[in-house]
Amino acid sequence: MNTVEVADKKFELLIENDNINKRTRLIGIQMNVDYENRCPVFIGVLNGSFLFMADLLKEIEIPCEVGFIRVSSYKGTASTGTVRETFGLPDTLKDRDVILVEDIVDTGFTLKYILEKVHLQQPASVRVCTLLYKPDAIQTQIDELEYVGFEIPNEFVVGYGLDYNGLGRNLKDIYKAIP
């Protein structure tokens, strides 16, 4: 399927699931090396990261813990710039190695908000793993961005956990909006 329709928008194929799986496997291998003899806490940023997080964790062979946070700054296809936290971080991150797992980093505002909350708990280390990164959209420095699946253009995307007005998360590939 090279094009799909989600609600009132048309999208064309950007990244096939096979490529997502290969890249996720490589990131997992790197994390197993980087965190050898440690027990990191993976924190998925819901809702978008759930598929990527599940597939990534299947590649992790070291001991680890898993948690989730849910925040939102999107309405339709644009960021509102205001971050709403609907449920928060675990409060046991002091002296822990934390890996935040994101579906996409674009403006960086949501991630910056989460990172500030994480750093308040004085973790031993904090790294960010994102499936997608839009370097042309970033508006704030994210020093913790360590693991990036794919750099993509500043276009609206859907599929593999990413949605358009709540729809399209279940698509196995990633699609970009057709203008």
55-58, long-range: CB < 8 A, 24+ apart: 55/20, 55/21, 55/24, 56/24, 56/27, 56/28, 56/31, 56/101, 56/129, 58/28
Q: Which two tokens stand for residue 109?
A: 């505002």
| Catalytic entry in 97, 106, 163, 173 | 106
| Annotation marks residue 103 as catalytic | no
Residue 84, amino acid: R
Cα–chain center distance at 99? 11
Phi, psi dihedrals of residue 67, rounded to the nearest 5°: -145, 175
Nearest to residue 147, comparing CAs of 8, 29, 54, 4?
29
Hey, which residues are catalytic here? Answer: 106
